[in-house]
Amino acid sequence: MADNILIKDSEKYGGQYVATRSFKDKEVVCSGSDPAKVSNEAKNKGIDEPVVFYVPDKDTVYIY
C-alpha cells in the first residue's frame, strides 16, 4: 500500500501552513501562519507553483 503522508516531520508543523515543491516532494520549503505569506516565500525561493496546505495539530479533530 502506498504511503499517504504529505510531509515528513508533520508534528513539527502542526497548526501551520506549509509549502512544498510538489505533492510528490515531501520536503517542506517554508512554513507559517499565513498561507499567502508562505506561498510568496516559496515563490521567492524559486518555486513557480508551490503546493501550500494546512497541517492540523496532532490528535486534533477537524470537521469541515
pLDDT (tens digit per residue) in 7-62: 777 789 999 999 999 988 889 999 999 999 999 999 999 999 999 999 988 877 77
Sheet holding 28-32, edge to edge: 28-32, 16-20, 51-55
This model's pTM is above 0.75: yes
Residues 53/6, Cβ–Cβ less than 8 Å:
yes
Q: Where are the chain's structural domains?
A: 10-55
List CB contacts of 8: < 8 A, sequence separation 6 or more: 26, 27, 28
Q: How far apart are CA 40 and CA 2, in angstroms?
A: 31
Cβ count near 19 (within 10 Å): 23
